[in-house]
Amino acid sequence: KSVLILNGPNLNLLGTRQPEIYGTTTLKDVEDLCHAHGSALGFEITCAQSNHEGVLIDQIHEAKARHSAIILNAGAYTHTSIALADAIASVELPVVEVHLSNIHAREEFRHKSFVAAVAVGQICGFGAKGYVMALDALADRLLKI
């Protein structure tokens, strides 16, 4: 089974972006972690990142033919994008929503997630470990481990 790790806007800046909130782990560190943990579980892992809403939507559409599930950190589009939520609903792939920070403990505008309503679940507040937890959740669901 194949899992797409999809990261949205500004996550390419991880490591230097507001380290007091997001830590010093880079996107490459996150992706390396996903490759290592995903392979150990028996998944094929593909990683992608875009700062553009439409590109993320295209990647979700294309994932239907290529992947069994998506781990999505949609960044700020989480809180704004009905189009992204519609794309997830359209492809009918299991999507696990991940955030490095605990969005519910931050500004009010981060409490609302359009992704949550179409995701199988949400993991937030555990930094890069959240991606590992999401892979474990998908292993449970897809590989019945």
Catalytic annotation, pick one of 52, 99, 104, 131 = 99
Sole binder of ligand DQA in the list 36, 55, 76, 89 (CB under 6 A): 76
Q: Give SS3 for 99.
A: strand
128 is an interface residue for ligand DQA by CB under 6 A? no
71 is an interface residue for ligand DQA by CB under 6 A? no
Closest listed residue to residue 116, CA positions, set 67, 69, 82, 68: 82
Q: Is the Cβ–Cβ distance between 43 and 69 less than 8 Å?
A: no
Q: Is the Cβ–Cβ distance between 101 and 107 less than 8 Å?
A: no
Active-site residue, 22 included: yes
10 is an interface residue for ligand DQA by CB under 6 A? yes
Q: Give SS3 for 73.
A: strand
Sole binder of ligand DQA in the list 5, 30, 41, 75 (CB under 6 A): 75
What torsion do the CA atoms of 23, 35, 45, 25 make, to the nearest 10 degrees?
A: 10
CB of 13 to ligand DQA, least distance (A): 9
Active-site residue, 99 included: yes
36 is an interface residue for ligand DQA by CB under 6 A? no
- Interacting stretch for ligand DQA, rule CB under 6 A, among 28-36, 59-67, 81-89, 95-103? 95-103
Q: Give SS3 for 45.
A: strand
Q: Which is nearer to ligand DQA, 29 or 44 (CB)?
A: 29
Q: Is the Cβ–Cβ distance between 106 and 8 less than 8 Å?
A: no
Catalytic annotation, pick one of 22, 37, 77, 131 = 22
Sole binder of ligand DQA in the list 33, 68, 80, 110 (CB under 6 A): 110
CB of 113 to ligand DQA, least distance (A): 9
- Cβ neighbours of 68 (radius 10 Å): 17
